[in-house]
Amino acid sequence: SKMFHLRAQSPVASMSLTFVKGDISDELRRNLQGVIGTVAAENQDNQEAMARAVKQRLDSSLGSGWQVVIGRSYSCQVIHEKGSFANFSIGPYVMAVWRAGF
C-alpha cells in the first residue's frame, strides 16, 4: 500500500512526459512512457479520455488489471502488484499508473 500526494507543475503548452517515481523496471518505464505519450498526443484536453485510453492499451498489451488516475492535484492510496507502480508528470497533469491483478 502506498500513500502519496502529487501536484502538477504549472500548466505548460507542451505535453512533456517525465517519469517522477515508481518501482518499475526500465523496460516497463519505456513501455508506459510510449503508451502515455501516444495517448496524450491524441487526447490533450480530455483527462478522462486519456486515462481510459491508457488503461485500455495497457490491459490489451500487458494483461488486465491496470489502473490509471490523472489530474492536476490529488491524493490516493493504492495496493498494487510489486514492480507495477509509477507516477508521471505530463504537461499540466500528474498520472499514477499501477496494476492491481487480484
Sign, Cα dihedral of 25, 58, 76, 14: positive
**Cell 490489451 -> residue:** 60
Question: Is the pLDDT assigned to residue 6 strictly greater than 80?
Answer: no
Long-range contacts of 49-55 (CB under 8 A, 24+ apart): 51/95, 54/95, 54/97
Q: Are strands 93-99 and 86-90 parallel, antiparallel or unpaired?
A: antiparallel
User: 96 — phi, psi (to 5°)?
Assistant: -110, 135
Res 60: pLDDT: 96
| Fold of the domain spanning 17-100 | Protein Inhibitor Of Neuronal Nitric Oxide Synthase (3.30.740)
15-65 tens-digit pLDDT: 789 999 999 999 999 999 999 999 998 887 899 999 999 999 999 999 999
3-state SS assignment for residue 11:
coil
Q: What is the pLDDT of residue 12?
A: 37
Every domain of the chain and the residues it spans? 17-100
